[in-house]
Structure 1
C-alpha cells in the first residue's frame, strides 16, 4: 500500500482538494480561477515527479485521469444544464479504457483506424493530438471565462478572438468525441466477443 503515499499520488490528492475548493468557489472567479489553474498545473507536476522519482504506478495513472474527469465534469455540469452528458461520456470512456486496457491505455491503440492512431500517437504529443487535448481540457475553462466575461475584462480579448478560440477548441473537442465514440464501441465489441468465447467454452 506504500504506492498510496508516492509523491505523485500525494500531488493527486492535493489536486482533488483544489477541484472541490474550486467547485465551491465557482461563482467567484477571482477565487475559482487560481484554484482550478493550480490543479491543472499540478497535473503536469505529478507526471514529472513520477518519472523523476521512479514512482510510476497503475494507481497513479488511474488517479490522474480520475482527477482530470472530476475537474472537467464539475465545470461542464456548472456551465450548462446538459453539461452532465459530457461528463458522463468522459467517465464512460474512462471505464472502457481502464477496464480493458489498464494503465497502458494510451499506447494500446495500434489496431485502431489511422485517424484515431494519429490522435493518440506519441501520447498525444503531435499537433493533432495537442489540438484534441486542448479541446478536451481547455474548452470548459474557456467557456467559463466567456460566461463570466473574463476574456474581455481580464485579458482584453476582442470578441472576434474569443469566437475564434471557441471554434478552435470546440473543433478539438469534437475530434476528441470521435476517439471517445471509437473507444466505447471497441469496448462493447470486446465485451460481446468475450461473452461469446465464454459460451463456446
Structure 2
C-alpha cells in the first residue's frame, strides 16, 4: 500500500467520534500530497538562490530550478489522482511558480524588462481568477479565439499548450543560463528557440486575457 494511498484514506476517513474538527481538516489539507510537493518546491527555490549566492555553483543552481519546474506537473497530477484539490494548494502552486520564474527573470534581465514576464503572469492569474474563480480554465476561456482555446484545451495537454508551458518554465531558465552558463548545453540555441517560441505563445494568451478582462470591466461600467 503506497504512502499516497494511505494519506488519501486518512484524509477522507471520518473519526470514530464523528466528523473531524476544523483543526483536523485544516491539518489534513496542509498535509495533502500535492501541497507537500509545493513545500518541497519552495525549498528547492530557496536552495537554488542560496547555492547561486553563496557558492556560485550555477550548474547545481540550474538543476535545482529544473527539478522545481518538473515537479510543477507532479503536484497537479497528484491532486487529480488523489482527489486532493484545495484552494490553498492552487494558491501555493501559483505563488511558487511565479516566485521561481520571477527570480530567474529578474536575475538574468536587468531593469524593467526582467519584471515584465512575472508581472504579466501575475496579472493573468488575477484576471482569470477574479472573473471565473476556481473554474478559470473553462469559464474564462469559453468564448476565446481558437488559438487561445488550443493552448488551454485539456489543461494545456495539446501541442500548442505543451509548447506554451515549456516556454513559461524553460525560457527564464534559458535566459538565466545565457548569463551564468554561457557556451553550454543549458544555453544552447536550439533550447532557446523552443523556449522563446513557447514564451511568445504564452505572452499572446496573456495579452488576450488582459484585453478580455478590461473589456469585461468596461462593459460593467457602461450598465
- TM-score bracket, shorter-length normalisation: 0.7 to 0.9
CA contact (8 A) 2:168 2:202 kept: yes
Deviates more, 1:34-43 or 1:172-181: 34-43
CA contact (8 A) 1:16 1:67 kept: yes
After TM superposition, the score normalised by the length of structure 2 is: 0.77
1:111 and 2:143 correspond: yes
Q: Could you say what secondary structure the match of 2:42 adopts?
A: helix
Partner of residue 79, structure 1: 108
Query: Which of 149, 167, 172 pairs up with 1:135?
Result: 167
Partner of residue 165, structure 1: 191
Residue correspondences, number: 191
Alpha-carbon shift at residue 139 of structure 1 (Å)? 0.9
1:42 and 2:71 correspond: yes
Alpha-carbon shift at residue 151 of structure 1 (Å)? 5.8
| Structure number with bigger Rg | 2
CA RMSD of aligned residues (A): 2.1
Deviates more, 1:97-106 or 1:73-82: 97-106
After TM superposition, the score normalised by the length of structure 1 is: 0.84
Note the 1:1-201 alignment, pairs <5 A: 1-2=26-27, 3-26=29-52, 27-81=56-110, 82-108=113-139, 109-149=141-181, 152=184, 155=185, 162-197=188-223
Q: Unpaired runs of 5+ in structure 1?
A: none
Alpha-carbon shift at residue 57 of structure 1 (Å)? 1.8
Cα distance between partner residues in 2 of 1:134 and 1:41: 10
Cα distance between partner residues in 2 of 1:49 and 1:172: 25
Partner of residue 4, structure 2: none
Alpha-carbon shift at residue 44 of structure 1 (Å)? 2.3
Q: Could you say what secondary structure the match of 2:162 adopts?
A: helix
- 1:13-60 Cα offsets, whole Å, 9 max, x none, are 221222122123234214312321332232222122212221112322
CA contact (8 A) 2:98 2:122 kept: yes
Cα distance between partner residues in 2 of 1:45 and 1:176: 21
